[in-house]
Structure 1
Amino acid sequence: MRVLVAGATGLVGSALLPLLRARGHHVTAMVRDGSRTAEADEVVVADALDPVAVRLALRAARADVVVHQLTALRQMSADAMETTARLRTEGTANLITAAREAGTRKLVVQSIAFATAPLGGPVLDEDAPLHLDAPDPSWARTVQAVAELERLVLGTPDIAGTILRYGTLFGARTQYDPEGPFGARVGRGRMPLPEDAVGVTSFLHVDDAATAALSAVDSEVTGVFNIADDDPAEGAAWLPEYARMLGAPEPRVLDAEMAQRVLGWFTNHQLTAMRGASTDRARERLGWKPSVSWRRGLASG
């Protein structure tokens, strides 16, 4: 098949390209910066927020399948989060319009598994409600953009849609790389632990995210799928273990009020209230399973 990967030089996109080519697909990489290299059969340059450029790119690619891995999260800044929200809304709409015109038959799109509302059990499936009314405006904007992305993809009747809700990514160049922002903070002993650290994180190695996208490209199955490792863990379990892996001091414990002040809303939410993700649907319907647990790979980069 002819496959276009939007976001081809990102964490997941760059891991996915060689897998697609090894499977025998003709791969077109859509990149915003023409100076960046991509392991693809063809490269097209387009800003996903420019509808004309996207239309021209998809017309040139003649793709059967479009894989949407667009984010701007190389740095976890407010500007990057806002740009990512726009890529999930405006960028997705541009890709869908262009894909319909180009005769594309399927979309495989990156979403996130940890956007669910902190309700119910510690591990939730794909039918759980999203945290659309999160008290933090930045996170509410993120979740609302995720909801719009999924609505657009699943609401396009003439193109099949597969949503991959990735868990919290780890591996080289992620936030959890020992040299990344989160990893470096843990390594220096500067990441405290809230006293009520019962929030559950479902991690996902970048390479496993790529194999899930490959499975989705090759499968006729559509719908929404959580993609994460087999070991959802409370903050009280994974953060001290991560510090131990890095040879860092045991995280100091803070009371609830101080923890939110020091950690910021999102990290405190992750450690105290977030829910993990059930991956039964992906196993049963996509035939996908993870290969790397956070316990083995979180500190390896």
Structure 2
Amino acid sequence: MSGLKLFRADTTNSAMTEVMPRLAEIETEVQGLVEAYMETLLGVRFLASEYSTGAVHGGRIDSLGLDENGSPVIIEYKRGTDAGVINQGLFYLAWLMDHRAEFEHLVRDRLGVTVASQVLWSGPRLICIAGDFTRYDVHAVREHRRSIDLVRYRLFGSDLLGLETVASVSGGAQVARRARCQPPVARAAADIQGTAMVELAGAVDEVLLGLGDGVKCVERKTYRAYQRLRNFACLCPPRRTKLLVYLKVDPKDVDLVPGFTRDVSGLGHHGTGDLEVQLRTPRDVERAQDLFRSSYAAA
């Protein structure tokens, strides 16, 4: 995985042994692992495996899921390098957009009526997991107007799975995405606190989008999600004098500061993440940057 080397330390014999990476013997080995732990690995709730697209369309979608923001997700797997995986996935994605009622029925059966009523059709996703991708694959996904993630896998030994995001695009340029992301929170801030809150929301947006090339922005009514492969931050509209950001950082690993950081695990809130960060001033945004980076790295 891009030159990554993994070693196992044997403290008893003061030895260090390299764990050699390998590809799966068969494609379904990877598919089985991902489907069994899909929410942990990808932030996607599993819906179906080998889903038939019907006699007319004549295909089978490897895995179907729903991500943290309610976006439909198609996942396609290849054992090694396969130039057809992206086109195959896009073929199924087109089918999915034409069969929204069928997908929502599946969600209703698996996850309930409430979840089915909140499916976000503005941003369906395709995740391709393969042994490797070519530079042509990376270029190709950047030309499509769809949300596509290319993920390279490796197996290490008998019990380790490595996933590396090779490319992650939302179907538009970074500038265009940033322009779309800003107005909802900016408008809400203007209604509540005026220019200061507009500027604070813009500063947070700038920092989160600037953490990496593959950051995507997903708008929901009650929050804006910043996503790599999974959500790493959710920004809520201002509450009078502050902004709330929820991060995928374990609160137990943070020295909580009253009025700045709070453990919300087990508490109801908008967005995803167990660490709440309260931002009132540009100084708070600076203080939070290490937390932002930690959450981004974990996604």
User: Under TM normalisation by the shorter chain, which class is it?
Assistant: under 0.3
| Structure with the higher helix share, 1 or 2 | 1
- Between the two structures, name the one with larger relative contact order (CA 8 Å, sep ≥ 6): 1
| Structure with the higher strand share, 1 or 2 | 2
Point out the structure with max Rg over C-alpha.
Answer: 2
- What TM-score do the two structures reach when normalised by structure 2? 0.27
